[in-house]
Structure 1
Amino acid sequence: MRIGLLGTGPWARAAYAPALFGHPGVEFAGVWGRRAEAATALAGEYAVPAYGDVDALLAEVDAVAVALPPSVQAELAVRAARAGRHLLLDKPLAVSVAQGRAVVAAAERAGVASVVFLTTRFQKEPEAWIEEQAATAGWFTARAQWLGSVFTSDSPFAGSPWRREKGALWDVGPHALSVLLPVLGDVRQVVSAAHGPADTVHLVLDHATGASSTLTLSLTAPPAAAGADVELRGEAGVALMPGSSEGAVPALCRAVDTLLTAARTGRPHACDAAFGLRVTEILATAQARLTADGEECLSGGPGRGKATVPRRRG
């Protein structure tokens, strides 16, 4: 499979380019970026072509890997799917439900495979733990903390405009949901949503299995407090998600493996674009709840009730 890379930012350079270059089952076929000079520089590091036009790249590949802001990703994913190209996408799939639905619809109409790269779901130890817990009945509640220090450290993502605008809910929220949903089931309601310090968000979710979960999400945690933790409690006792012994590149190589398998077999992976859309729907509901409750608090109005998460049709 010939895969082209769309994007030249820190994540493209640190994860996508080395994963595509080093994967034995694909050919890293070229780079397109919104800045031509950045695309030329990144392509030059791997001796692959740089493209100044997206359609020119699409004409030369079987699939695209997208490392771009989510609003840009959604638009280009639709374009690539319509050209019959398989999709390796990043989280979040989109920052609006309409954009996410457009990606899913385009992929389904074209019959192309899609995988959304959610790092934890493709890391060896956490992936095995998630599968084990999903097969265990009787979970009562879960606690997930995804605390980053992107805006309180020298992170290469500190200047990311979309992260500045959308915050932790949209950046690390998908990671937390990617762990909780396969174990506790779909989210039926956003029971509550509240702002914490800076971009920190606290959520309480009601799941289809009857379990509840609490999420604390932040990109502004002190560096010494940063980290990701998931704890499950239920009839089986207490289960803590293990850390990973590997970084993003091996995990991304596994995501490439799943794309190859989905393209070959026609069977969708659990982290396909439809799953990415479901995550977007939940995040959009939480965002609406945060906005509405914030406005009511400022006006001195009463708090709102539970927010039911709408399901897409079909």
Structure 2
Amino acid sequence: MSQHRTRLAPSPTGALHLGNARTFLVNWALARQQGWQIVLRIEDLDGPRIKQGAAEEAIDILTWLGLDWDEGPFYQLADLTPYTAALEKLGSQGDIYPCACTRKQIEEASLSAPHDDDHERRYPGTCRPPKRVPISNQQLLQEGTALRLRVPPGDVTFVDEFAGEQAWNVEQLVGDFLVGTKLGLPGYQLAVVVDDARQGITQIVRGDDLLSSTPRQLILYEKLGLGPVPLYTHLPMVVGEDGRRLAKRHGDTRLSYYREKGVTPERILGLLAHWCGLDEQREMTAKEFAQNFELSNLPREQIVYTPSDLR
């Protein structure tokens, strides 16, 4: 195992679009520039949102763009044992508790606005026991009941490699967050931490829509005693002209759509390179991008996808 490792971690909840591609390209380029090993991980725990064939398409598209990896693909759903073991540890410590609240109940009980663009409201603590109570293994990952982590008060601080110094109060922002879902599956925050730790990930490069997830994951690193935490690099997102993350409302930005129309990967990469601070917009390969890309030149504001980019 090399000293530094990163991961490409697509979620097969839909097709990869230009915004996803820009983040993956920067992550890949940094790894190849600095000698990090790359792990390909398919984050497929999101139950009903998973689209059939999306994982295979994501792997195919990444290869089409010229990106490669050193290990994987690994599928989270293939083995739930590591996540169950983590929940058993949290349960024995009294750090988690069962929650039967519905989304509607949380919305009615919460006075906070949805968090960012993911409609997440602060959990008001309806099911939280007044004191820490260990829970049995039989109460873990039962369908119909979620599991929440008891979040400590105060700020979680860290230094992001691109976004700089950060301080987030998770208790005030989202409250006790999910680590197990009502479908009987581990929650995103828990699964990511467990996988990053066991796969030896030391460098995490992702979109800044996940910046608020980092303090939650740092809390889990501490509660689980997982040792050194990774270095985080959060990149500004690609958004539509309305300032919202890319979606169908902005037209078809799927990479598969462009490929079906005969657009070459070099043309796609040329646009992504322009969005990454390379002055001259021209067709290029992934290898050429890695040779010319510098993180210090990446624009610090969001990139706005416009009709001229489509043309």
TM-score, length basis structure 1: 0.30
TM-score (normalised: structure 2) = 0.30
More helix per residue: 1 or 2? Answer: 1
